[in-house]
Amino acid sequence: MSLDARVGSAGWEHPQWQGCFYPEELPPEWRLTFYNTAFTCVYLGYAEWSECDLKALSGWVDDTLASFRFVLERNPAGLSAGDEARLAVLAPRIDPPGGRIVWLERDLDLKKLADELQLLAGSSAPIYLISRDHGLEAMNRVKTLLEIMRA
């Protein structure tokens, strides 16, 4: 089965992850690097990425694997010149528009999700499986589901 699906969360900075996902001694500036070793994408709202300076965004690219993807909410009012400059910096870690976001619900039904993913398999557009509530257990269950489906 050809399935380009990635698992992640809305953001990577979550206080409830300290100690249970991020080691206690991990410096905050290393969290994205640590996160991208466990998950393959992260969703960022427009306000989160559009207010960052270019140096910070370049650091994000440097701190992530080539296969990692930032899934960005676009400005509904259209792109500003600043947005275009930021997108250019992030370009190595963003996919062209057209990917599909599937929001992971708190009460995750893996069978239903597997059925949905089978229908989407073969599509050339990536599928981003994103947890809005930052549920590590659900995200890890979906990672396991993808491993089984790709086997």
Residues 65-115: tens digit of each pLDDT: 999 999 999 988 888 989 999 999 999 999 988 899 999 988 899 999 999
CA–CA dist 114, 80 (Å, integer): 38
For position 129, what pLDDT does the model report? Answer: 98
Structure tokens at 1: 């089965």
pLDDT > 80? residue 144: yes
DSSP class of residue 74 equals P
| pTM metric for this prediction | 0.94
**What is the CATH code of the structural domain delimited by 5-150?**
3.20.20.410
Annotated domain spans of the chain:
5-150
pLDDT > 60? residue 1: no
Chain-wide mean pLDDT for the chain? 94
Q: Which among 70, 39, 67, 66 is positioned nearest to 56, based on CA atoms?
A: 70
